[in-house]
Structures are given as structure tokens and as C-alpha cells.
Amino acid sequence: MATPAPHDEQARFDAVIAADEKIEPRDWMPEKYRRNLVRQISQHAHSEVVGQLPEGNWITRAPSLRRKAILLAKVQDEAGHGLYLYSAAETLGTSREEMLDDLLEGRAKYASIFNYPTLSWADVGAIGWLVDGAAIVNQISLCRTSYGPYARAMVRICKEESFHQRQGYEIMQTLAQGSPEQQAMAQDALDRWWWPTLMMFGPHDADSAHTQQSMQWKIKRQSNDELRQKFVDQTVEQAARIGLTIPDPELRWNEARGHYDFGEIDWDEFQRVLGGNGPCNRSRMRDRRRAHEDGAWVREAMLAHAEKHNRRAAGAAA
């Protein structure tokens, strides 16, 4: 059988996208589609891995054993999400080692939000409530993404993220109902995490380098600004319910739009942190590199043992 000509492949790919069906690993896909997906999925995986660090910063100081257990379970889930996502990206022909090298050598990005420090216990609540809340808005949309393995990973991840978001909100609720010091801790965490969370959705649609192409390929199903609006609308009401104030004087309900209006993000800060000049960029990458370098002898030993084991088994069989 003759290999189909590339234009037939392209036509088939376009038809699958148009019909809202899934592209699967063995299907032909444009090289740019593949590269775009590897970039997005691996960036997402790296975010899960680096995201262990700010929350891990509080596991040893969690204020009750119940909270410690929940936080450990949550951070363990995040690492598990990293695994599914690396696996999804590997189906596109890029190995986990290559992706990890890209991260450690600074070629790949991870979510900028993790370049902010966790300064109090309330930050653990704020990360669950706001950061995971924002991630869910984005990820629910990605459950309909055009690449099959990514969409399926998202379905599974969304279920766990909604548990994370609830535990974060519950921490904030408990603090907001607590002593004046606890209330201040909760408000301070909201003040510091609000704007960086809104930045998680990326630049305005008009300024987004990847949005238009990604929307055409149905990798992205909703734009940055649409998703950000959805997050603001749901979170304003959650904050009000527990008596916390969102740090935005321009926030108000717009009857005509049926949405909340909100102030402008500090895009200079966005660019600065994205460009490596956030408060924790260096320490996060140093921690990841150190874990990788300190673990090199462990990985080498594991391989050496496996080889010896196989040789011995082969020797015994011979």
C-alpha cells in the first residue's frame, strides 16, 4: 500500500479537529502541533513537580496532624499528576529525560506562580483555594483538548484538583473564622496571592503568542481572558462568603456584562517573574537541580544493580 501523500494526512487531521474528535499518538499530526503540545504538556508537568516545593515548605510545620496528613496526600497527588503528564507528553516522542533536561537547563518553563514564597500557614490555604482553583478552571477546559492522552490525563487530574481546592478553601474558612491573628494571616495570604493567581491565565488574548494557533487546533478551548473572567466570577463570591476582601479597588459587578469587572494586572511584574526575576525563581531551580544532582548516584546504582541482576539471571539460565 502506498504511503498517503502529506496533503491527505493534513486533510484527515483537519477533519478530526473539525469534528471535535481526538488526535491519538499514532495519528499523523503537523510537526508544529506536536511541538506545541510537547511544550504545553511538559510545562504543565514541570509545574506539578516544582509546585511540590512551596507547599512542601509547610508540611513539616502543618499546625495539626490532620492538616499534615492532608497536605502530604495533596503534594503526593501533585507529583502523581506530574507523572501522568510526562507520560502523556512521552506519547509525542519526547522522553522524560529530555523534558527534565530542558527544565533543569532553563529551556522549559513552569508556572510562574511557584516563584512566590509561602510565608505563613495561610499560604497553604491560599494555594489550594486560589492556585488550584485557577488550575481547575483551566484544566476543565482542557478536558476537551484535541489530543487524546492529554484530555484523558486532564479528566483524572481535575477530580483530584477539586479535592485540593476544597481543602484550601476550608483552611481559609477556618482561619477567617478564627482569632484576629488568624484572620489577618488569611487576609495577608489573599492579598499576596490574588494578583499572581490572575497572572496564571497568561497575557491578554491579543498579546498571547500561542493562543490563536492553539485555539485553531483545539488544544486550547477557551482563551486566557475568558478563563480568567470565569475564575474571578466564581472566586469573588467565595471570598465574600468567608468575609475576606479581594485586594482590588476596581472590582465590581457589571450588570450589563453579567460579569465582575476587575483591575489591570501589573504586566511588568508578570514579565519580570516570567523572565526569571521573581522572588523564588533561583531557589526553585537550585532545589530541583540539587535534587537531580544529589540523586545521580542513586539512579546510577539502580541501573547498575538491574544490569548485574540480569547478567546473573542470564548466567543462571545458561
Partner 1 sequence: MSDAHFTYVLRLGDNALVLGQRLSEWCGHSPFLEEDIAMANTALDLIGRARMLYSHAGRLEGRGRDEDALAYLRDEREFGNFLMCELPNGDYGFTLVRQYLLDVYHRHLYAALTESRDDELAAIAAKAVKEAAYHARRSGDWVLRLGDGTAESNARCQAALDELWGYTAELFTPDAVDSAMLEAGVAPDLATLRTRWEADVLARLAEAGLTVPADDWQAEGGRAGRHTEHMGRLLAELQFVQRAYPGQQW
- Note the residues at the interface with partner 1 (CB under 8 A): 49, 52-53, 56, 59-69, 72-73, 75-76, 79-80, 82-83, 86, 121, 171, 174-175, 178-179, 181-182, 287, 290-292, 294-306, 308-309
Q: Which residue, 15 or 301, has its beta carbon nearer to partner 1? A: 301
The amino acid that residue 230 corresponds to is K
Q: Which residue, 136 or 172, has its beta carbon nearer to partner 1? A: 172
CB of 6 to partner 1, least distance (A): 37
Of 189, 156, 7, which Cα lies nearest the Cα of 88?
156
Q: Which residue, 45 or 219, has its beta carbon nearer to partner 1? A: 45
DSSP 3-state of 255: coil
CB of 285 to partner 1, least distance (A): 13
- How far apart are the C-alpha atoms of 159 and 28, rounded to whole Å? 30
CB of 303 to partner 1, least distance (A): 8
Q: Which residue, 87 or 213, has its beta carbon nearer to partner 1? A: 87
What does the DSSP 8-state code read for residue 277? I
The phi and psi torsions of 175 (rounded to 5 degrees) equal -70, -40
Q: Which long-range contacts (CB under 8 A, 24 or more apart) does 20-28 make?
A: 20/144, 20/218, 22/146, 22/147, 22/148, 22/151, 23/146, 23/147, 23/148, 24/148, 24/149, 25/91, 25/92, 25/148, 25/149
**For 109, what's the count of Cα atoms within 13 Å in the CB-facing half-sphere?**
13
DSSP 3-state of 254: strand
Q: Which residue, 63 or 243, has its beta carbon nearer to partner 1? A: 63
Q: Which residue, 174 or 238, has its beta carbon nearer to partner 1? A: 174
CB of 56 to partner 1, least distance (A): 4
CB of 314 to partner 1, least distance (A): 16
CB of 104 to partner 1, least distance (A): 12
